[in-house]
Amino acid sequence: MKGRVRAKINRRFTHSGYQVFFYDEVAKRLNDRLDIVTLKPKVIIVSGFGEDSLEKRFPSACKISKIDFAHPRLLLRKTKRLFRMPWRPQLGHLCGDLSALPLSSASVDLVYSNLDIPFFDGCNELDDLLKEVYRVLRPGGLFIFSSLGPDTLKELRPIDGMRGLRLSRHLDMHDLGDRMMGVGFSDPVMEMEELKLTYSDSLALLRDVRAHGSEPFNLVDRKGLFGRAELRAIAERSKLENNGQTLATAELVFGHAWLAPERSSPKGQKIIDIKVA
């Protein structure tokens, strides 16, 4: 299934009309949530797509590695700067994904993920992602991310006897927080906000649906999301109700969680918690 997802993303981002606005807008809102973080990371992993600006936010970092399992997206992210100033972070680019990081355990201070989780959840690899992020974080390290909630594209659900589109059912933020605690993360903080998107036509909406992880990845037939005719009918209804515009809701989920710092006894001995089922 991961191969089909990678192939779809590769096709989307090799077209001249690939969609970046949504990724950039969500990344901007995720960046705002770093304002309250006092962590001064030395090694940062950035996954997903969108304008993260972490090089400017953390100029004292030693290394920032940007990772993506879709090669065309990775190429789009590469900086055009020809050389690095000695006082700027070293930038690296890795073609891989968060469920199998080519990194040593406890080697990263901050993992930043923008809209990756919908793809990994759709491939049934979300727990692998969380375990891998937990593995590479140092004690006291931070995992911060954005995702999509279950009310995303609620306008495209079946109405008045129409079949509606076959869409992924994104994970509720409370369930996502529980999954993180199950892996071992401490103090997860989850937030939700709605973003209203406006489209000029139904095909532009369809491109976004496919580019942002809302198309089910286990579809093996040629019917896809139920086709353009079904989408057009729903879009026309939206135009009638919204002054000629096609509207769609994106339920944005933002969260962050920490890897608990190591604890020591008064004699300096490391304390290890053992959970008994």
**Is 129 strand, coil or helix?**
helix
Question: In the structure, what pLDDT confidence band is assigned to residue 176 with cuts at 50, 70 and 90?
Answer: very high
Buried b (16+ CB within 10 A) or exposed e, 18-46: bbeebbebbbebbbebbeeeeeebebbbb
Mean pLDDT score of the chain:
79
| 11's tokens | 């096709």
What tens digit of pLDDT does each residue of 231-260 get?
Answer: 677 767 777 777 777 788 999 999 999 998
Q: What is the DSSP letter of 154?
A: G
What tens digit of pLDDT does each residue of 123-173 get?
Answer: 889 999 999 999 999 999 999 999 999 999 887 776 555 555 667 789 999
Q: Of the spans 34-48, 165-179, 203-217, which averages the highest pLDDT?
A: 34-48
| 79's tokens | 């900086």
Provide the pLDDT for residue 222.
45
Q: Which residues pair with 67 in a beta bridge?
A: 47, 94
Which amino acid is present at 19?
Answer: Q
Question: In the structure, what pLDDT confidence band is assigned to residue 25 with cuts at 50, 70 and 90?
Answer: very high
Provide the pLDDT for residue 181.
94
The answer on pLDDT for 4 being more than 60 is yes
Mean pLDDT of 222-227: 50
Which amino acid is present at 160?
Answer: D
**Is 135 strand, coil or helix?**
helix
Provide the pLDDT for residue 219.
53
Mean pLDDT of 84-100: 73
The answer on pLDDT for 49 being more than 60 is yes
Q: Which residue has the higher pLDDT, 277 or 212?
A: 212
% of the chain beyond a pLDDT of 90? 35
What tens digit of pLDDT does each residue of 11-23 get?
Answer: 666 655 556 788 8
The answer on pLDDT for 29 being more than 90 is yes
The answer on pLDDT for 68 being more than 90 is no
Q: Which residue has the higher pLDDT, 231 or 182?
A: 182
CATH of domain 2-149+171-194+252-260: 3.40.50.150
Mean pLDDT of 86-93: 69
Provide the pLDDT for residue 19.
62
- What distance in Å separates the CA atoms of residue 126 and residue 251, rounded to the nearest whole number? 19
pTM, full prediction: 0.83
**Is 93 strand, coil or helix?**
strand
Q: Of 214, 37, 192, 22, nearest to 112 (Cα)?
A: 37
**Is 197 strand, coil or helix?**
strand
| 245's tokens | 């515009």
Low-confidence winner among 31-45, 53-67, 143-157, 209-223 (lowest mean pLDDT)? 209-223
% of the chain beyond a pLDDT of 70? 71
- Asked if 82 contacts 132 with a C-beta cutoff of 8 angstroms, the reply is no
Sequence spans of domains, the chain = 2-149+171-194+252-260
- What distance in Å separates the CA atoms of residue 46 and residue 96, rounded to the nearest whole number? 11
Provide the pLDDT for residue 271.
52
